[in-house]
Amino acid sequence: MRRKIVAGNWKMNLVREQAVLLAKEISNERKIDGVELMIFPPFVFVDPITQQIGTDLKVGVQDIYFETSGAFTGEISIAQAKSVGAGIALIGHSERRELFNETNTILKKKVDAALSGQIDFIFCCGEPLNIRKTGREYDFVKIQLEESLFHLSEEEIKKVIIAYEPIWAIGTGETASTEQAEEMHAAIRSWLMERYSEQTAEIIPILYGGSCKPDNAKELFACKNVDGGLIGGASLKTSDFIAIANSF
């Protein structure tokens, strides 16, 4: 059975006291059997959070750099992330791709660095509105996977969590239906099957990252190929985040 995961990406929100309190609240909630909870606070809050909650909750970073050290002002190495308690990283989030011009080539380097540095990661993929409107969404997402992820060996790909973000349905006024989410997730799994094997494709979790909320999570998580969510705004409120996890 595939892992069930609900991951909260806090983005550039909160200050230290708020972040630590939110992490404590989530950590103190009744654990949902069979569901893994993860949080991705701003990097500066990872250390105070992990100091307060220990190993009760998996804490990650929102980005990593592919070099181990050097003159890369503002970047965070994998060793630095791990040294403050981070056990997982996001790679290729849509905002990193769109706002900071991260290419598939750069993300391939980050994927390789994560494996070499032995940190878990969630690899994000997804298409913007102009691609969806021209009907090229499947080709677009497949290329993202082929150019950044599908160079991995079968043993390496088994360590990966994938998150699909329909960028066109986030803050645009457009809405992604449950059917559209399941269709893309099924396509991603079929490409994994083609590149690797059915057995490997069936064990890789694919999360949905398109405005998942308490009122639509149950329907989304009931889909055959949706194994959880990468949650944005709803992860900033304990009751919403836990309600989404309870949707399983």
Task: Domain ranges for the chain, please list them.
Answer: 4-246
Q: What is the pTM of this model?
A: 0.97
φ/ψ (deg, to 5) at 40: -125, 85
How many CA atoms within 13 Å lie on the side-chain side of 176? 32
Cβ-based neighbour number of residue 163 at 10 Å:
27
Backbone angles phi, psi at 33, to 5 degrees: -55, 130
pLDDT tens for the chain, residues 1 to 248: 899 999 999 999 999 999 999 999 999 988 788 999 999 999 999 999 999 998 779 999 999 999 999 999 999 999 999 999 999 999 999 999 999 999 999 999 999 999 999 999 999 999 999 999 999 999 999 999 999 999 999 999 999 999 999 998 886 666 689 999 999 999 999 999 999 999 999 999 999 998 899 999 999 999 999 999 999 999 999 999 999 999 99
Three-state SS at 4: strand
Q: Is the dihedral of CA 165, 171, 172, 174 positive or negative?
A: positive
Q: What is the pLDDT of residues 39-59, one digit of tens each?
A: 999 999 999 999 999 877 999
d(CA 115, CA 105): 16
Show which residues are catalytic.
Answer: 93, 165
CATH class of the domain whose range is 4-246: alpha beta
Q: How many CB atoms lie within 10 A of CB 93?
A: 27
User: What is the tens place of the pLDDT at every residue in 102-128?
Assistant: 999 999 999 999 999 999 999 999 999
